[in-house]
Amino acid sequence: MIRVLALKNSDSIRKAFHAMDVDEVGIEIMLQKAQHYLIQIDALTIPAANILKQELLSLGGDAALHRGACNFSIRETPCIMMGTHQHFERLSKKLAAQPFGLKKIAKELKQALRNFLLVPPTLVAGPFIFDFTRSPFVMGILNMTPDSFSGDGIPNTKELLKKAEKMLEDGADLLDVGGESTRPGATPVSVEEERKRVIPAIKALAKRFKIPISVDTSKGEIAEEALNAGAHLINDVSGLMKDPRMAKVAKRYDSPLVVMHHQKEEHDLIGRMANFFEERLLALEKEGIPRNKVILDPGIGFGKTGAENFFVLKRMEEFKCFGRPLLLGASRKSFIGHVLKQEANERLIGSVTSQVFGFFSGAHFFRVHDVREAREALMLSKAILEADV
């Protein structure tokens, strides 16, 4: 009997080899040949592109280029490389001796593939450590707003603590506190009003519970006061582009940052999102914030159509090339309602389905309204992913 094997990662392939009692040395050699990858470079000069293609062809791989690359009728071309891990390891070595910027590309290629294949390093948030070999992590949403799109605004501290306690009982790993609605058309909130909503809430949570707390804000002043009040992470939906003080606050307090994509992209959505993340990471490094302090959020529901939200979910795994943990905030979002014809408070099944798909696409953090349901679905998904007999 002939079968096409559904082995999606090196662990499952290794186990299949072990089941056949393959020699251990042989396993290590063949693992590099067993997985095939498509890797894109956005812009290569034509001399560099042609050298890269020929080198990859000589190794048994290939590269797709713009049709004008062969006759030099264009100056630059995107490139999609095709090959196994072994092909790209050998290609990196060969490109390291080539001109036209290929030495730099060799280094970046090796790092991107390494990031894609490995679990991100641990993330430190105050006294808390997130070990991503143990993810997923469920982030419970606490909206201190009267105009939340999902209708779950919390009116006072008593209700806040009650809701937070229920979330912890249901399995929340961290809590996210926000004081300004980010739904389309929401009225902006002043610093004074956001402070009044958020800071007492964080103080109350920090006093009552020993759990990581995230502050959902785009204002550096609020972020700083929140960190002083007991928060441990900053979740900025503006991608740290609204307030230049935000990066300085994060550096001063050594706080992890959630950087969210929020822009409207006219074409090549995934490519432009990747460019946005790379630009943000480089900008933060210039501010003295290392990459190991950053969480990336693809920004489901922000600046995207319903179809684009599904497309991002489908290809979110591509952002693993940055080697950073990914956060998914799809809970009760309108793209679910557009398909299922439901109001926000009816979108539980759609939310959980999106979260499960996000987990299989590489997400580590899940910002959710319904903690128990998300936790159970994600734990079952992890059991499926790790299943072995």
Q: Are residues 82 and 175 in the same domain?
A: no
Asked, for residue 374, whether it belongs to a domain, the answer is yes
- Amino acid at the residue 374: A
Q: Are residues 93 and 163 in the same domain?
A: no
Distance CA 366, CA 97 (A): 43
Asked, for residue 16, whether it belongs to a domain, the answer is no
Domain boundary residue, one of 91, 117, 143: 117
Q: Are residues 165 and 87 in the same domain?
A: no
Distance CA 384, CA 381 (A): 5
Q: Are residues 109 and 127 in the same domain?
A: no
Query: Are 294 and 257 within 8 A, CB to CB?
Result: yes
The residue to which tokens 């280029």 are assigned: 65
Strand 128-130, strand 137-143: pairing = unpaired
Tokens linked to 112: 């991107």
Distance CA 265, CA 257 (A): 23
Q: Are residues 56 and 133 in the same domain?
A: no
pLDDT score at 367: 98
Distance CA 187, CA 276 (A): 26
Q: What is the CATH number of the domain that holds 377?
A: 3.20.20.20
Q: Are residues 52 and 129 in the same domain?
A: no
pLDDT score at 74: 93
Tokens linked to 343: 């109001």
- Beta-carbon neighbour count of residue 58 at 10 Å? 11
Asked, for residue 332, whether it belongs to a domain, the answer is yes
Q: Are residues 112 and 131 in the same domain?
A: no
The alpha carbon of 129 is separated from its chain's Cα centroid by a whole number of angstroms, namely 18
Q: Are residues 246 and 330 in the same domain?
A: yes
Q: What is the CATH number of the domain that holds 57?
A: 3.30.1370
Q: Are residues 82 and 151 in the same domain?
A: no
Asked, for residue 135, whether it belongs to a domain, the answer is yes
- Amino acid at the residue 212: P
Q: Are residues 235 and 321 in the same domain?
A: yes
Query: Are 322 and 291 within 8 A, CB to CB?
Result: yes
Closest listed residue to residue 227, CA positions, set 208, 241, 248? 248
Q: Are residues 141 and 75 in the same domain?
A: no
Number of structural domains (the chain) is 2
Domain boundary residue, one of 62, 90, 117: 117
pLDDT score at 15: 87
Asked, for residue 113, whether it belongs to a domain, the answer is yes
Asked, for residue 25, whether it belongs to a domain, the answer is no
Q: What phi-psi label fits residue 350: left (phi over 0), alpha (psi between -120 and 50 degrees) or beta?
A: alpha
Domain boundary residue, one of 117, 134, 164: 117
Show Cβ contacts of residue 124 under 8 Å, excluding neighbours closer than 6 positions: 130, 256
- Amino acid at the residue 161: L
Query: Are 90 and 59 within 8 A, CB to CB?
Result: yes
- Amino acid at the residue 342: Q
Closest listed residue to residue 256, CA positions, set 103, 128, 108, 83? 128
Residues designated catalytic: 333, 367
pLDDT score at 87: 95
Query: Are 184 and 163 within 8 A, CB to CB?
Result: no
For residue 155, how many C-alpha atoms fall within 13 Å in the half-sphere facing its CB? 0
Asked, for residue 15, whether it belongs to a domain, the answer is no
In order of 16, 61, 62, 91, 141, the CA distances from 84 in angstroms are: 18, 8, 10, 11, 41
Q: Are residues 106 and 253 in the same domain?
A: no
How long a stretch of residues is the chain? Answer: 389
DSSP assignments along 262-327, one per residue: ----SS-HHHHHHHHHHHHHHHHHHTT--GGGEEEE--TTSS--HHHHHHHHHHGGGGGGG---BE
The residue to which tokens 């042609």 are assigned: 50
Q: Which domain holds residue 234?
A: 123-385
pTM across the whole model: 0.93
pLDDT score at 16: 87
Each residue's pLDDT expressed in tens, for the chain with a length of 389 residues: 898 888 878 888 888 898 889 999 988 889 888 889 999 999 999 999 999 999 999 999 999 999 999 888 999 999 999 999 999 999 999 999 999 999 999 999 999 999 999 999 999 999 999 999 999 999 999 999 876 666 577 888 899 999 999 999 999 999 999 999 877 767 888 999 999 999 999 999 999 999 999 999 999 999 999 999 999 999 999 999 999 999 999 999 999 999 999 988 988 999 999 999 999 999 999 999 999 999 999 999 998 999 999 999 999 999 999 999 999 999 999 999 999 999 999 999 999 999 999 999 999 999 999 999 999 999 999 999 888 77
Asked, for residue 26, whether it belongs to a domain, the answer is no
